[in-house]
Amino acid sequence: MAFDVVIRAGRVLDPGQGIDGPLDIGIRDGRIAALGERLDHAGASRVIDAVAPGRVVVPGLIDVHAHVARGAITPGVGMEGCDPDEIGVRSGVTTVVDAGSVGVANLAAFPAYIQPNARTRVLCYLNLGSHAHSMPSLLDVHDLSDVDAGAIAKGVAANPGVVEGIKLRLVGPVVESHGEDLVTLARKVARQHGVPLMVHIGDRGATRRGDADPRRFAEVTAFLLSNLDAGDILTHLCTPNVGGASDDDLLRAARARGVVLDAALGRGNFGFATARRQREAGLPPDTISTDLTALGRDFHSLVECMAKFMAVGYTLPEVVRMTTSAAAAALGLADHIGAIAPGREADITILDVVAGDFRFEDTDGVEFTGGWGIAPVHAVRAGELFAPHWGPHPWGWLPSREPA
């Protein structure tokens, strides 16, 4: 059997399939054709040697919460998104979900411009607010009139297959005045279109201003957790901000119903102490994601988010599962992505896992240390090979090191 590409791997790590060992991967016509020991690479147009200390080959990484609506939001006005390939295939990530960068007012940018021009697989979650991130305000919904369910229905119908989910950010004064109504409306819209609802919790702005009633935000978050359905996604699980998920019993009940708990670190929604406490309570995230925007692309990457959770205490197989098979299941795509399996599209990531004394910082400026950094070596998307860019830091991909 002749292959187009053969990856000679020292270690293939695919926790979703229980694979952890030395295997070669044969790719033909953009799909995985074979997985086995010492595959014949004679005639292959390219052989990738992935045998090196600390090097692992994993299913293509999946970022279930990022912002890649670059070109759909006016620079200097709204919250700009990243180039999808910069934080996608050029960062070792083969699938990215845009989590509500656009509302129905500019949804057309995705099928017309963003998705056709990206080499990364890009999925679109539509913001419940009509103008989403395109205006100067950091709020997507100021009041219930900002939600136009009729226009959303028209947009979904006119762009079949584009809207994979609905996104709601529980931030701003509307949470205190109409939080439960907003959650109910968002849930109704998502159910009407048969897609999951992703909800952002934690209001960094309210935390900074100190003018929000924490008890009121807690009430709305509790209402949310009690009303999410199987397949819905709670994002910013580890936020230390007002409105965060502080009720472990409600989290457990939501997870038992099939609700996905997503970390989505971003610049403003990751508390190290919160993440560590949740681990000790048996409440790990189901998925790890970045919440990257244009303002955060020089701050971290998906692989650095994985390293942060290793610093919390999770193992490499655990963080790989959270960004591959578990992420694919969260998106309802477990039969298509998130695994290195013959017959599937060849979405594969090669990583270097580097031991060291690395320094990290959480949302509140709390520094913590970890023993591992992770850097992308190659991404393979549908059989096509992509080299990583320089990295999010001036020195490259790895986190900063502790002084010797």
Whether the Cβ atoms of residue 193 and residue 149 lie closer than 8 Å to each other: no
Per-residue pLDDT for 1 more than 80?
A: no
Q: Which residues contact 150 (CB under 8 A, 6 or more apart)?
A: none
Q: In this predicted model, what pLDDT tens digit does every residue of 75-101 receive, in sequence order?
A: 999 989 999 999 999 999 999 999 999
pLDDT at 210 over 80: no
What does pTM read for this prediction?
0.98
The stretch 342-370 carries a mean pLDDT of 97
pLDDT at 242 over 80: yes
CA distance 306 to 162: 28
Range 109-126 average pLDDT: 98
3-state secondary structure of 380: strand
User: Is residue 404 predicted with pLDDT exceeding 80?
Assistant: no
Mean pLDDT of the chain: 96
Q: Both tokens of residue 291?
A: 């919440």
pLDDT average, residue stretch 309-331: 98
Residue with tokens 């681990």: 279
Which of 207-216, 225-234, 240-249 shows the lowest mean pLDDT across its residues? 207-216
Q: How far apart are CA 383 and CA 387, in angstroms?
A: 13
131 close to 103: Cβ distance less than 8 angstroms:
yes
What pLDDT band is residue 334 in, cutting at 50, 70 and 90? very high
The helix or strand, by DSSP H or E, that contains position 161, with its residue range, turns out to be none
- What's the whole-number mean pLDDT along residues 392-401? 95
Q: Phi and psi of 32, rounded to 5°?
A: -75, 120
Percent of all residues in the chain with a pLDDT value above 70, rounded to a whole number: 100
Give yes or no for a contact between 314 and 278, defined as CB atoms under 8 angstroms apart. Answer: no
pLDDT in tens, 365-385: 999 999 999 999 999 999 999
What distance in Å separates the CA atoms of residue 57 and residue 110, rounded to the nearest whole number?
31
Determine the pLDDT at residue 283. Answer: 98
How do residues 40-56 score in pLDDT, each as one tens digit? Answer: 988 899 999 999 999 99
